[in-house]
């Protein structure tokens, strides 16, 4: 059973909207990173849906690159959270200014 591309794009749009709302509404940096991951997964879903619809593997290849960027973003973000938690417990976005020189 093949899912229509409109349904895939609708799901991708809903996921992206949830990610944007989560990013803008939260002050906790860990939840903001999770929201960015949700947005990147929505992009991957739309790339895979278009790739399937057009019978072209380029979208799936590009989705693999997006996954690699998401992994790097998660690693850098987790490093920032660990550095912030060493100075002061609790991960708030406003506390990131303490990590300056």
Q: What is the per-residue pLDDT for 77? A: 85
For residue range 9-31, list pLDDT tens digits in order: 999 999 999 999 999 998 888 88
| pLDDT bucket at 89, cuts 50 / 70 / 90 | confident
Q: What total of structural domains would you count in the chain?
A: 1
Q: What is the per-residue pLDDT for 1? A: 73
User: In Å, how far are 36, 83, 89 from 26, measured between CA atoms?
Assistant: 12, 20, 18
**What is the pLDDT averaged over residues 73-99?**
76
Which residues constitute the domain of residue 74?
5-99
- 8's torsion region: left (phi>0), alpha (psi -120 to 50) or beta? alpha
For residue range 31-81, list pLDDT tens digits in order: 888 999 999 999 999 999 999 999 999 999 999 999 999 999 889 888 888
For residues 87 and 66, give the distance between their C-alpha atoms in angstroms, rounded to a whole number.
Answer: 32
Closest CA to 40 of 59, 60, 12, 21: 12
């Amino acid at each position: 059973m093949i899912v229509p591309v409109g349904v895939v794009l609708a799901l991708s749009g809903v996921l992206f909207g949830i990610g944007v709302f989560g990013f803008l509404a939260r002050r906790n940096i860990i939840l903001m990173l999770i929201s960015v991951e949700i947005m990147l997964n929505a992009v991957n879903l739309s790339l895979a849906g278009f790739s399937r619809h057009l019978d072209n593997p380029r979208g799936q290849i590009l989705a693999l690159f997006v996954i690699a960027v998401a992994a790097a973003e998660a690693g850098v973000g987790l490093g920032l959270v660990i550095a912030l938690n060493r100075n002061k417990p609790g991960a708030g976005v406003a506390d990131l200014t303490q990590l300056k020189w």
